[in-house]
Amino acid sequence: MVNLLAPPPVKKKHPNLILHCGANLVKRREVEAVTTPRSTATWNPIPHVQLIRTVEQTLAATKLTVATFAHSRSHSGNRYFGLMEIQNGENADDYCLVLGLRNSHDKRFPAGVVAGASVFVCDNLSFSGEVKLARKHTKFIGRDLPTLVEQGINQMIGKWSDQRTRFSAYKEKRVNDPTAHDLVIRAVDAGVCSNRLIPDVLHQWRRPEHEQFQPRNVWSLFNAFTAALKDGSLPELPNRTTTLHGLLDSYVGLN
């Protein structure tokens, strides 16, 4: 886990984004320097920076501001993951909106963007599954990507209000210890985390590192999960936290 900058006060509106899961923090110029493999008859990889620029141009057109941007790469530069903190004029006091970008040159996953949130006090990340876009590296990806990104971000803007509703519901719903244990097991069954992480989740639940998560509610349990998931695979985090949202949304009655 690598800090982009020194941690700011909790109330600060522009928190630092932290790249989790052993990702290597790099400068943008290092992302731009990655060599894109040659296309084949069925596979057409795009430069990582092409995805970045496409998202930036779309955000500028919709009057959204990128407050913080963190880049990481792995597997000799073949896999890229980026995090954008987005300012939209309706920022919460305890979390910020983020976009996660990912692209691969080794056929591991398609070019994609997903919306999510980062919690100020601990930089726990979660991604929402209602809106996400992905485009396989096939013919015409360069032509299709700008339109897909525009459509996806427009949908994300509309769904960010749902994120506020979700987190408010998590904070209002109390949960006792036996129910928390049951939800942990259900999360393992759903693929949110492995059996190996059960002790970590329970430790974060029973002895929260931050007083903001002392209340016995779903918000605290949610952050116990996301804290434990920092030790997993960053590219897999969107799918894991999307599944977690589904489980907890159902418990608080949002489904």
pLDDT at 24: 75
pLDDT at 63: 81
In the chain the beta strands, taken as DSSP E runs, fall at 2-3, 18-19, 24-26, 65-74, 79-87, 95-104, 111-119, 125-135
Each residue of 90-99: pLDDT tens digit?
Answer: 667 888 888 8
Residue whose pair of structure tokens reads 């692209």 in the numeric block: 103
103 CB-near residues (< 8 Å, 6+ apart): 46, 48, 51, 79, 80, 111, 112
Each residue of 205-224: pLDDT tens digit?
Answer: 999 999 999 999 999 999 99
Distance CA 148, CA 118 (A): 24
pLDDT at 1: 38
- In the predicted model, what is the mean pLDDT of the chain? 86
Task: Assess contact for 72 and 23: CB atoms under 8 A.
Answer: yes
Q: Residue 35 gets which letter from DSSP?
A: P
Confidence of residue 9 (pLDDT cuts 50, 70, 90): very low
4 has pLDDT over 60? no
Distance CA 254, CA 246 (A): 9
15 has pLDDT over 90? no
Considering the chain, what percentage of its residues have pLDDT values greater than 90?
56
Task: Assess contact for 86 and 99: CB atoms under 8 A.
Answer: yes
In 28-168 the beta strands, taken as DSSP E runs, fall at 65-74, 79-87, 95-104, 111-119, 125-135
- Write down the pTM of the prediction: 0.82
Q: Where are the domains of the chain?
A: 2-160, 170-252
Give the C-alpha distances (Å, rounded to integers) separating 175 from 52, 119, 178, 242.
40, 20, 8, 21
Considering the chain, what percentage of its residues have pLDDT values greater than 70?
88
Nearest Cα residue to 68 out of 134, 18, 127: 18
pLDDT at 200: 96
Of residues 16 and 133, more confidence is placed in: 133
Each residue of 127-183: pLDDT tens digit?
Answer: 887 668 899 999 999 999 999 999 888 888 877 888 889 999 999 999 999 999 999
